[in-house]
Structure 1
Amino acid sequence: MTAETLSIPGLAKPASRIALGTWAIGGAMWGGADDANAARTIDKALDLGINVIDTAPVYGFGHSEEVVGRAVEGKRDKVILATKVGLNWQGGKIFRDSRPARIEQEIEDSLRRLRTEYIDLYQVHWPDVETPLEETARALENLVKAGKVRALGVSNFSPAQMDEFSKFAPLATIQPPYNLFEREIEQDVLPAAVRNKLVVLAYGPLCRGLLSGRMTADRKFEGDDLRNHDPKFQQPRFDQYLKAVEDLKGIAEKHGKSMLALAVRWVLDRGPTIALWGARKPEQISGVEEAFGWTLDEADMKAIDTILTRDIQNPVGPEFMAPPARNRVQGQ
């Protein structure tokens, strides 16, 4: 497979326009870890031409980074490693923390877990409004100067926060939630990214499996699976979203593609985007090649919008995933 690529400012090698997302590989909030399948999934992604692997310390409280580090050992020169910074946890409770001291600790922990001397793309996971962005940005710029990081990104930032960060350190990427069902960034973040020549790493392009085309109304989610708390997976909304998926399959079939390929292609056709394809088993990454080498035309885009408007009443975004500020957990 020949993967589509684009350039990320600050990185020497082109990035594949599909990245492997490893949140589920960490296990937490996804029903537990399966390291053997995770390793095979990473190997398959690399074989398919995916060279961007996106992870974070908070995914399984370090476990995802450890699994990724083991899997890419000996293949480091072929991989663009993207991880994050700026979340902390106490007793399993996650909160935002982008203080310079936290950043200094996190970079060393991530380098150790990932078994590498540098990180290609280091992203602030969520904005920490209790820490001045200047302090965060300057601490990260120091890591670039020290050779520990190649390029900087932010995730879940507003355009104003992106602009403020950029006053103190160069910004290469923005990582927001973006998929057929969660399109809030089209109002502000996506235009700002285009204007400032930032690459958009779109997380959740399959909307936590909803857009895979494989989900049914009787699907149950076990244990700590975050979909137990996602409003889209609660009735009556769940049936509405599933109806939309069934109707969207008609557009996919017109192109001879799967629903999954349609969902990812839609993201790739919306701008300077990389779609983060989350997977924890090798079979979950099957079909990546279907997303490349074609496009959705204007008539397709209009038909998609018509289906969404008709099938879904009171659509909801991904707000439920946002972690709290530091003072709400620590009582500061």
Structure 2
Amino acid sequence: METRKIPGTDLNLSVIAFGSYASGKGWAPSERKSAIEAIRASYQLGVTTFDTAPIYGLGDTEAILGEALSCFPRDKVQILTKFGLRWLYVRGRPFRTVVSFDGKDVNIYRYATRESVIEECENSLRRLKTDYIDLYQLHWPDEATPFEETFEAVSRLVEQGKVRYVGVSNVTPEQMDEIGKIVPVVSLQMPYNMVERGIEKDVMKYCIDSNRAILAYRPLEAGLLTGKIRPDATWPRNDSRNTNPYFTPDNIRRVNAFLEQLRPLASEKKATLAQLALRWTANRSGITSVLAGAVNSLEAVENARAAEISLSRRDMDFINGTLLKLDTEMINEALRKTRVRLAALS
């Protein structure tokens, strides 16, 4: 497995990392077993980087990861987790509502006070069955708490040896500059994939210029880039795909048509469309590691083997040229809908 170093650290991340968001839905015993098998299968194929968060599974996902990794040497894996989203207290700014394993609505809050950060870290260490976290990342900014308070607490955790390095997620370059004045920030985690490329506008250049790693999450856009999503698909209550603009029937058709144009290249590489999408993401400038989720060992093996695919410059140019046509179609459709709405208001 190819590894890439986070600049300014001794962390060498596997280019395909295990992203555990998909493992956080609340588990029956059989599903928990599958999740553990997926994590262990990833490790056996060279994946050494495992990303999670307390909010995934409302704590259960960290516990699953801790159990799964407990049989491997601690110094052979990098455990990444996050802080700043709480559900135990009605404090901070409302973030979103999720459905717990027993079907109840649970309200999530952005909350990153000094005391909360310290408490979250202790909880994560316990669930993960470890005494240190390799990369501790702010999940989402808490606008009600000054960065100075939040990251002074994180600095204390670094001094105590409970956290090795500090990262952030879902923040702007300006916010990274502000946080960087308090504590060294080595990485930024953001959504990035073939259809969600917003960070190309400014974030990628910023991270390259400031020598910071980019960890790409949602590389398959919640399954859209597998080619297996039908235009008539429906989702469970509170599933983010219900409001995701990429998951309208028209856009699903467009993306599927785009993927069909890539299928001959995938066949040539003896790869699935999902593997091609993961490898494309890993090849993009500034990307250090791609966080790919799996709910069973078959998916985990497929993801890990995406690292074995080789895409030439010509291959990348072909994919990028095909993507440009998809971008144009989506932009034109968005403009058409805007004109229709404006006409209805006039």
What TM-score do the two structures reach when normalised by structure 1? 0.87
**2:212 matched to 1:198?**
yes
Deviations 1:290-316 (A, max 9, x none): 423454344333332332333353369
Partner residue in 1 for 2:146: 132
Partner residue in 1 for 2:343: none
Partner residue in 2 for 1:286: 301
- Report 1:201-220 matches (<5 A): 201-220=215-234
Partner residue in 2 for 1:35: 32
Partner residue in 1 for 2:49: 52
Give the direction of change, closer, same or farther, for the CA distance of 1:138–1:202 in structure 2 (3 Å limit).
same
CA distance in 2, matches of 1:291, 1:122: 26
1:102 counterpart SS class:
helix
For structure 1, which runs of at least 5 residues remain unmatched after alignment?
Answer: 317-332
- Report 1:154-169 matches (<5 A): 154-169=168-183
CA distance in 2, matches of 1:189, 1:259: 27
Partner residue in 2 for 1:314: 330
- Report 1:227-242 matches (<5 A): 227-242=241-256
Bigger drift between 75-84 and 306-315 goes to: 306-315
Give RMSD over aligned pairs. 2.4
Comparing both structures, which one devotes a greater share of its residues to helix?
Answer: 2
Partner residue in 1 for 2:156: 142
Partner residue in 1 for 2:84: 86
The one-letter code of the counterpart of 1:16 is: S
**2:22 matched to 1:8?**
no
1:74 equivalent among 71, 74, 78: 71
Deviations 1:251-285 (A, max 9, x none): 32343432122111111111242000111111112
CA distance in 1, matches of 2:323, 2:71: 45
The one-letter code of the counterpart of 2:42 is: A
CA distance in 1, matches of 2:326, 2:200: 21
Partner residue in 2 for 1:180: 194
Deviations 1:84-111 (A, max 9, x none): 0011224612222222121011111111
Identity rate, percent: 39
Partner residue in 1 for 2:275: 261
CA distance in 2, matches of 1:315, 1:167: 38
CA distance in 1, matches of 2:309, 2:69: 30
CA positional deviation for 1:32: 11
CA positional deviation for 1:231: 2.1
Bigger drift between 151-160 and 136-145 goes to: 136-145
Bigger drift between 104-113 and 236-245 goes to: 236-245
Residues matched between the structures, number: 313
CA positional deviation for 1:10: 6.4
Asked whether the equivalents of residues 200 and 273 of structure 1 are also in contact (C-alpha less than 8 Å), the reply is yes
CA distance in 2, matches of 1:189, 1:130: 24
CA distance in 1, matches of 2:174, 2:145: 15
CA distance in 2, matches of 1:15, 1:87: 25
Deviations 1:97-156 (A, max 9, x none): 222121011111111111111111100001222222222222211110110001110001
Asked whether the equivalents of residues 16 and 307 of structure 2 are also in contact (C-alpha less than 8 Å), the reply is no
2:127 equivalent among 113, 125, 136: 113
CA distance in 2, matches of 1:43, 1:294: 21
**2:137 matched to 1:123?**
yes
Asked whether the equivalents of residues 5 and 14 of structure 1 are also in contact (C-alpha less than 8 Å), the reply is yes
For structure 2, which runs of at least 5 residues remain unmatched after alignment?
Answer: 91-104, 333-346
The one-letter code of the counterpart of 1:61 is: L
**2:298 matched to 1:300?**
no
Choose 1 or 2 for highest CA Rg: 2
The one-letter code of the counterpart of 1:286 is: V
Partner residue in 1 for 2:61: 64
Give the direction of change, closer, same or farther, for the CA distance of 1:290–1:161 in structure 2 (3 Å limit).
same
The one-letter code of the counterpart of 1:35 is: R
The one-letter code of the counterpart of 2:214 is: V
CA distance in 2, matches of 1:148, 1:102: 15
The one-letter code of the counterpart of 2:301 is: S
CA distance in 1, matches of 2:29, 2:245: 22
2:262 counterpart SS class:
helix
CA positional deviation for 1:180: 0.6
CA positional deviation for 1:39: 0.6
1:200 counterpart SS class:
strand
Bigger drift between 102-111 and 211-220 goes to: 211-220
Partner residue in 2 for 1:276: 291
CA distance in 2, matches of 1:31, 1:115: 21
